[in-house]
Amino acid sequence: MHRLRHVPLFTLVALVLLTHSALSGAAPLSIELPTETARFEPSPLPGYAIASGKCSICHSADYIQLQPPGMSQSQWRGEVSKMQHAFGAPIDDQEVDVIAAYLAQTYSAEPRAKAAEASGAASSGTP
Ligand code: HEC
């Protein structure tokens, strides 16, 4: 009867091996891929197709994601125009506003309020 000691010992060894392989197998699954910010946020706005096609020629959408929150449409327009003129992005003049509208509505917290503020505050902002 004492020979039955071997059965639980074997079971214990098997359990240790199973646990070990389960733990080492779980580690690679926790790697986070950076693709979510690297792509442009999908949107029905026409600027989405232009931005994902033309703004990712030189860099990923991370650059857009890293801009301060709440940028107005005119601030985005300035950014797009900078890409166009300073860095030579192949963007047509009529596309600048379309892209800026998409960026403001997709990446800014309060695009409408900020856009109104930007256009209204320019003349009456100084006391
Ligand atoms: C011709 C190449 C090119 C294209 C196309 C391009 N960019 Fe850029 N972008 C750059 C370069 C170069 C920088 C500066 C990188 C640095 O400073 O390290 C930059 C930086 C940025 C930044 C970071 C802030 C800044 O001003 O440096 C934002 C936001 C940005 N781009 C948005 C856009 C958007 C939106 C588009 C599409 C309308 C676009 N880019 C298309 C070259 C490009």
* Nearest atom of ligand 1 to the alpha carbon of 82: 26
Query: b/e string for 28-43 if b means 16 or more Cβ within 10 A?
Result: eeeeeeeeeeeebbee
Q: Does residue 44 contact residue 105 with C-beta atoms inside 8 Å?
A: no
Task: Determine whether domain 36-121 maps to CATH 3.40.1030.10.
Answer: no
- If one compares 11 and 25, the residue with the highest pLDDT of the two is 11
Separation of 84 CA from ligand 1 center, angstroms?
9
Separation of 67 CA from ligand 1 center, angstroms?
11
pLDDT category at 114 given cuts 50, 70, 90 is very low
CA distance 73 to 5: 76
Judged against a pLDDT cut of 80, whether residue 62 lies above it is answered with yes
Separation of 44 CA from ligand 1 center, angstroms?
23
Positive or negative torsion for Cα 86, 89, 95, 97: negative
pLDDT category at 124 given cuts 50, 70, 90 is very low
- The pTM of this model reads 0.69
Sketch the domain layout of the chain as residue ranges: 36-121
Question: Is the shortest distance between the CB of 91 and ligand 1 below 6 Å?
Answer: yes
CA distance 12 to 43: 55
In sequence order, the 6+-apart residues with CB closer than 8 A to the CB of 95 are 47, 50, 54
Q: What is the pLDDT of residues 67-80, one digit of tens each?
A: 998 999 999 999 99
- If one compares 20 and 69, the residue with the highest pLDDT of the two is 69
For residues 38-44, average pLDDT: 91
Question: Is the shortest distance between the CB of 98 and ligand 1 below 6 Å?
Answer: no
